[in-house]
Amino acid sequence: MRRIYLDYAATTPTHPEVVKAMLPYFTDVFGNPSSIYSYGQEAKGAIEEARSKVADLIGAQSEELVFTSGGTEADNFAIKGVAYTNEHKGNHIITTPIEHHAGMETCKSLERRGVRVTYLPVDEHGLVDPDNVRRAITDKTILISVMHANNEMGTIEPIAEIGKIAREARIYFHTDAVQTVGHIPVDVNELGVDLLSMSAHKLYGPKGVGALYVRGGTKLLPFMHGGEQERRRRASTENVPGIVGFGRAIELAKQEMDEEAERLTYLRDQLIKGLLERIDHIRLNGHLTKRLLNNVNVSVDFVEGESMLLNLDLEGICASTGSACSSSSLEPSYVLLALGLSPELAHGSLRFTLGRENTSKDIDYVLEVLPKIVAKLRAMSPLLKSRR
């Protein structure tokens, strides 16, 4: 059976070139980068080379990058770091109800410690209104954290506009750019951010490595205490192969970005158009144009997401859903609910995220298979009857 992977926002396969670049650092160049002999210094050199590649892609200086274990750690580091470092200045954070769990749960943990958090509203497409950011600022506000693009429904937020507001108000501004770095142009100066989270495995790099951009001059308590790695900001012996892989993945992403963007946008639009044409009572979630170029998120009336996913899987297609049928809460995606979707529609959501391996044939296959699945599930849906 053919297998079609359409869940690139969850993770990507590590590019073979990336694996090749990493391999020597498991064996030949295994030295600890903190050691002064040549093995160690060679590893250190490789880290610094990777750092400069990552910094270069986002318009940052090398010394402004801290390597982390991934996007989640970068979000924790940024948000807790600013909150703890600026306790004496204020205790108010502005964020959104559509942040990734990494940002959302970090803010909630701070709330339990007495930090006040404002969750800005988003419109039906998931967009934050910069004016609402301006209005939410108080003299106690120490951080604004708004994700660059949403991992679930793909909406790209007006980060540059919010950045201007943050700068005028002299408030630290963090963005989670895990879904955008390596896929669309990201420049920390154009965006006006002080802190920016990244992850390697979303851009064909290895899992377990990411980075936080920290604008020069930003005061941030260390995230991990111990040795002097990462300019004392994040102790722990560096994940040398991972960091090298991250650097190589960034390099490849930069080379291929324009071409891949055009190709994926075309495929994405082909999929959206096809789904809306072939399935009735279906809606696109997220913004039509201010949208990640590989993201398709739809809600299908009268059917539940997991049962669609299982059927797609039986046909060899990997996708994901905002239905929480296998989570412990059972409540559907808070992101989709924040857009004003009914629980039924949030449970009936499907996300396809495209990537390097996908072709037009894959899209055609989904368009052939999914309408049949929906028809089969609708035939057994009690919701359909009650709406007739």
Partner 1 sequence: MRDVLSLYSEKVMEHFKNPRNVGEIENPDGIGHVGNPVCGDIMELYIKVKDEVIVDAKFKTFGCGAAIATSSMVTELVKGKTVEGALKISNHAVAEALGGLPPIKMHCSLLAEEALKSAIEDYLTKSKKGKARRHKENAKCKIQ
One-letter identity of residue 43: A
CA distance 1 to 6: 16
- Is residue 387 a contact residue for partner 1 (CB under 8 A)? no
Site string for partner 1, 336-375 (x = CB under 8 A): ------xxx--x---x------------------------
- Is residue 97 a contact residue for partner 1 (CB under 8 A)? no
- Is residue 75 a contact residue for partner 1 (CB under 8 A)? no
- Is residue 309 a contact residue for partner 1 (CB under 8 A)? yes
- Is residue 321 a contact residue for partner 1 (CB under 8 A)? yes
| Segment interacting with partner 1, rule: CB under 8 A, options 3-11, 16-24, 47-55, 238-246 | 3-11
180, 149 Cβ separation under 8 angstroms: yes
Residue of 325, 330, 375, 380 marked catalytic: 325
Residue 318: active-site member: no
| Segment interacting with partner 1, rule: CB under 8 A, options 115-123, 136-144, 241-249, 376-384 | 376-384
Task: Give the closest residue to 204 by CA, choosing from 245, 152, 153, 151.
Answer: 245
Task: Give the closest residue to 70 by CA, choosing from 160, 222, 163, 203.
Answer: 203
- Given phi > 0 = left and psi -120 to 50 = alpha, else beta, which region is 255? alpha
Residue with tokens 């943050």: 166
Check the annotation: does 174 bind a ligand.
no
Check the annotation: does 237 bind a ligand.
yes
DSSP, residue by residue, 106-131: HHHHHHTTT-EEEE--B-TT-PBPHH
The DSSP output letter for 198 is E
Instruction: Using CB under 8 A, pick the residue from 114, 216, 217, 382 that binds partner 1.
Output: 382
CA distance 221 to 16: 37
Taking the least distance from each CB to partner 1, the nearer of 248 and 351 is: 351
Catalytic residues: 325
Residue numbers in the known binding site for [2Fe-2S] cluster are: 325
Interface residue list for partner 1 (CB under 8 A): 7, 9-10, 151-152, 302-307, 309-310, 313-314, 318, 320-332, 342-344, 347, 351, 379-383, 385
